[in-house]
Amino acid sequence: MLRVLCLLRPWRPLRARGCASDSAAGGSEIQVRALAGPDQGITEILMNRPRARNALGNVFVSELLETLAQLREDRQVRVLLFRSGVKGVFCAGADLKEREQMSEAEVGVFVQRLRGLMNDIAAFPAPTIAAMDGFALGGGLELALACDLRVAASSAIMGLIETTRGLLPGAGGTQRLPRCLGVALAKELIFTGRRLSGTEAHALGLVNHAVAQNEEGDAAYHRARALAQEILPQAPIAVRLGKVAIDRGMEVDIASGMAIEGMCYAQNIPTRDRLEGMAAFREKRPPTFVGE
């Protein structure tokens, strides 16, 4: 696969106040990087908690929530890509060692926070892509399901395995998996706690693309970035409104969905990008969209 060269800005760490960290360098468990050059508009979130295999602990969740809150207001973010800095794993799910120390009340509050995190990912205004280069289990798969698009290494392993731990998916898995795969298949996978390879997940439609893993262990990331590069040239307001129309429309009857589509289209009519698209078509040249 041809890889487009890009300029890389340094990773920007984000530390949750007053919390210990499990990252490789003892710093932030979540880092952010905005790509530059031809990839300007792609922002990457790097999950980097190696000792816990990116398990969803308190610090990790706090940092990710804070990161999303900051990026949500940044109109320069056209595509948000989730990747792992831990080789062989995307996210191993909930931090059960940490959860063992919680009271029942604390568990309930934390799971509610976790569900809120996944909702924040799902509601992020720009398209989101999960690059799954390794294990994505339980909450890790729920995080990927909250993204708009998923790319996996063919050797990656994923599944909602909560029933094998005496639990059930509590961060959106029981709702997003049926909407992705259909009710019967989602029930089968959740009831059995079955694990799927990236290849199997692609055959079922759980991931958009499955690619052979490379020696560096980041093949899914490179395919996800190539997918993001396909989105970049398109009109950003139209893309964001298209996301709203799809997401909101899927939750209602088709007549209501048509009304939602109409409202989104009406918001797009006065944009400069729409006029630019028409002018570019007329002048037989590529459009230059500015997000206005």
Q: Cite the active site residues.
A: 94, 139, 142, 162
Burial 226-251 (b: 16+ CB within 10 A, else e): bbbbebbebbbbbbbbbbbbeebbee
Looking only at the bridges linking them, the beta strands covering 149-153 and 128-132 are parallel
- Taking alpha carbons only, the member of 259, 234, 228 closest to residue 244 is 259
Residue at 242: amino acid letter: G
Cα–Cα distance list, 55 to 139, 160, 215 (Å): 8, 14, 24
Unique residue bearing structure tokens 């980041």: 218
Give the angle 59-15-11 at the CA atoms, nearest 5°. 120
> What's the number of CA atoms in the CB half-sphere (13 Å) around residue 233?
8
| 285 contacts: CB under 8 Å, gap ≥ 6 | none
Burial tier of 12 (Cβ tally within 10 Å: 0-12, 13-18, 19+): middle
The greatest distance separating any two alpha carbons of the chain, rounded to the nearest whole angstrom, comes to 66
